[in-house]
Chain A
Amino acid sequence: MDSTHSDPGHRTLAPVPVKILIAGGFGVGKTTLIGSVSEIQPLRTEEILTNESVGVDDTDGVEHKGTTTVAMDFGRITMGRELVVYLFGTPGQERFWFLWDELAYGALGAVVLADTRRLKDCFPSVDYFERRRTPFVVAVNCFDGARRYPPDLVRKALDLDPAVPVILCDARERESSKRVLIELVSYVMQLVKTKGSREPASAGQTGPS
């Protein structure tokens, strides 16, 4: 744990933060899941989009600068005095990848929420975490009235690595959302135990070590 200003007292006061990302398409229930396990109402933080950050050379930039924001919702679970888990909902749109990078940096892992009626909405999230080698689980949010599919069918449809857990959940239910997070953490534990690092089995050995 590094400290920009060294002060032993400060170190003991600030808990260790753990980031978990909640990803998935628009309206799939990310904020609902966060809210069901968070100890606080989900908070919202915003980032301003500038031309630089979206990588577009836009001559109208001055007018637009500071007018476009992208929101991220997040929740918090305090575990004793020393540990705080932050659940960050990723922005839905793919063009905000630069924000994903910041969110994914140092994250313990991710939950990709899927809706079987719009399964392809979660493709970009799955792709992103696979490419980045961020451990993730897929949680199928079982909306009322949506047809239930066995997890294996979802796995096949998403062409997932066999090791990636796929679970059914109800993001509105605290217990259910809790189980999703437990599934993610035990998956990461497995990866750490088997590989000595958190790289998924399929990712090879080329990542940072």
Chain B
Amino acid sequence: MQWDNDRHTEYWTDEAAGPLVRPYTMTGGRTRTSSADFDLVAYIMTVEQALPDVDLHPEHLAALDACPRPLSVAELASRLDLPLGVIRVLLGDLLERGLIMVREPTKDLKLPDERLLEAVMNGLHAL
């Protein structure tokens, strides 16, 4: 750590510390969220806008803004340009506060059923 007052610039990182802004800074260093899986194709929908909350980052608010209608986790991560691991932690925070709803995809490994396959087939033919 060094201070360089002569040039009116504050250096509070150095090479060894690496880049200061890392994606996980905004998650407070957390890499896991316990409340939900947030599958790539889980759908997120905002149910309530956040009240002023010191614990929420701009990225939390951006996620809330992005999901007035259901949006998949993959699309949300892409839209906010955040890594999946980060978006999952942020979504966990929002879920805990009751600000979003999550619909995880069906985890039934016997899938897919014939009706679903037929619907996909029809959709492809209609392309």
Contacts and interface: CB of A to CB of B under 8 A. Distances in A.
Interface of A: 1-5, 7, 10-11, 13-19, 37, 43-48, 50, 52, 62-63, 65-67, 69, 74, 76-77, 79-80, 82-86, 88, 102-103, 105-106, 108, 174, 178, 181-182, 185-186, 188-189, 192-193, 197-198, 208-209
Interface of B: 18-19, 22-24, 31, 35-36, 39-41, 43, 45, 47, 69-70, 72, 74-75, 77-78, 83-86, 95, 98, 101-114, 116-127
A194 B85 CA distance: 39
B104 A85 contact: no
A209 B108 CA distance: 10
A82 B114 CA distance: 16
B101 A4 contact: yes
The secondary structure that dominates the A interface is: mixed
Nearest to A2: B104
Given A10-B70, A47-B84, A181-B124, A4 B103 contact: yes
A79 B101 contact: no
Contact of B121 (A45, A65, A86, A185): A185
A208 B126 CA distance: 33
Contact of A74 (B74, B102, B121): B74
Given A45-B78, A66-B23, A86-B72, A1 B106 contact: yes
A142 B74 CA distance: 30
Given A63-B18, A83-B119, A208 B106 contact: no
A151 to B, nearest CB: 21
Contacts of B75: 43, 76
A19 B112 contact: no
18 contacts: A3-B101, A4-B35, A4-B95, A10-B101, A14-B70, A19-B105, A45-B74, A46-B83, A47-B85, A69-B83, A86-B41, A86-B72, A88-B40, A106-B111, A178-B124, A185-B121, A198-B112, A209-B110
